[in-house]
Amino acid sequence: MNRMLSVDLNPIIQPILEILDAILWPAIAIVVAVGTIYCIVLGVKIAKSDEQNSREKAKKDLIGAIIGFVIIFVLIVALKIAVPILEEWVKSQV
């Protein structure tokens, strides 16, 4: 009962890895494009703001957006790097 059955999971794992590989580069492009457009919009908002309060709020929004997009970009790249390592690990476990 405690014996593990030898099962070939490669037919299940391989399509998932192919989907991840196909999605990651477009995801990076989308994050970069959306981040650039959003930061430009916030920059224009800073330039157009007349009151000090709205200028400070726009600056905080811009800083938050830049930090958020950098984190998302780094996580996507880390996933791209980690997928082959995890693939080898799963193959060695099975």
Among positive and negative, which fits the CA dihedral 4, 7, 8, 13? negative
Q: Is residue 9 part of a domain?
A: no
Q: Is residue 84 part of a domain?
A: yes
pLDDT band of residue 94 (cuts 50, 70, 90) is: low
Which residue is it, tokens 């999971």? 9
Q: pLDDT at position 1, please?
A: 46
Q: pLDDT at position 71, please?
A: 92
How long a stretch of residues is the chain?
94
Q: Is residue 5 part of a domain?
A: no
pLDDT in tens, 13-46: 788 878 888 888 888 888 889 888 988 998 898 8
Q: Which domain holds residue 76?
A: 23-93
The whole-model pTM stands at 0.64
Mean pLDDT of 59-71: 89
Q: Is residue 16 part of a domain?
A: no
Q: Is residue 10 part of a domain?
A: no
Domain count, the chain: 1
Q: Is residue 66 part of a domain?
A: yes
Q: Which of 8-12, 17-21, 27-31, 76-80 has the weakest average pLDDT?
A: 8-12
Q: Is residue 45 part of a domain?
A: yes
What does the mean pLDDT of the chain come to?
Answer: 83
Q: Is residue 11 part of a domain?
A: no
pLDDT band of residue 64 (cuts 50, 70, 90) is: very high
* Distance from C-alpha of 62 to C-alpha of 40, rounded to nearest angstrom: 9
